[in-house]
Amino acid sequence: MKYLKTYNVFESKETYDVNVINDLLLDLVDKEFLVEIRPPSFRTTMRLSLNIIYAPGSVSTPFRLGDIQETITEVIDYMKSEGYFVDATDAWGPNYKEYRRKSIDKDPSKWDKEEYLTTFQIYFDKDLDD
């Protein structure tokens, strides 16, 4: 029995550093984007997610996808280095009157930089075998 390994069902396997992600997102925060980092939970189906809204003066305003592309690419590169992959993206826009879901590629290099959004979410997941 002394050789049995104890296993905690909710044992965290995250290897990313949320402080690094915050540092990478400072550029967006400086430009008045609201950025929420949601750690893995049952609500986010066990995936880390980032939620991005442009809100200068506390009012949500449409933004161009190109405005966040460089920063999101840096976050993706960091997460890949930690063994994570982009599981999904969600986007809505361009305004709340026409609030509709948009299909945005997981790969930022394929984004239309001129496309306007009101909200962007990106979900990261990790292979449990890693």
Residue pLDDT, tens place only, 70-122: 999 999 999 999 989 999 999 988 766 666 888 899 999 999 999 999 899 99
For residue 2, give the amino acid letter: K
107 domain residue, yes or no? yes
Strand 48-54 and strand 119-126: the pairing is antiparallel
Q: Report residue 58 as tokens.
A: 């506390």
**11 inside domain:** no
Has residue 54 got a pLDDT over 50?
yes
Q: Which DSSP symbol is given to 4? A: P
Please state the domain count of the chain.
1
Residue 91 main-chain phi, psi, to 5 deg: -145, 150
In a domain, 97, yes or no: yes
pLDDT tens figures, 111-130: 999 999 989 999 999 876 65
Q: Cα angle at 35 between 34 and 36, to 5 degrees?
A: 125
71-95 in b/e form (b: 16+ CB < 10 A) is bbebbbebbeeeebebeebebbbbe
Q: Which domain holds residue 70?
A: 18-126
Residue 6 falls within a domain, yes or no? no
> Rounded CA gap, 62 and 94, in Å?
6
Quick check: is 25 in a domain?
Answer: yes
pLDDT of 98: 60
Tokens of residue 122, six digits: 């990106």
For residue 14, the model assigns a pLDDT of: 60
For residue 24, is pLDDT > 70? Answer: yes
Give a yes or no: residue 75 inside a domain.
yes
- Answer yes or no: is 87 within a domain: yes
Report the predicted TM-score, pTM, of the whole model to 2 decimal places.
0.81
Tell whether 1 is covered by a domain: no
Q: What percent of the chain has pLDDT over 90?
A: 56
Q: CA of 80: how far to CAs of 2, 3, 84, in Å?
A: 37, 34, 5
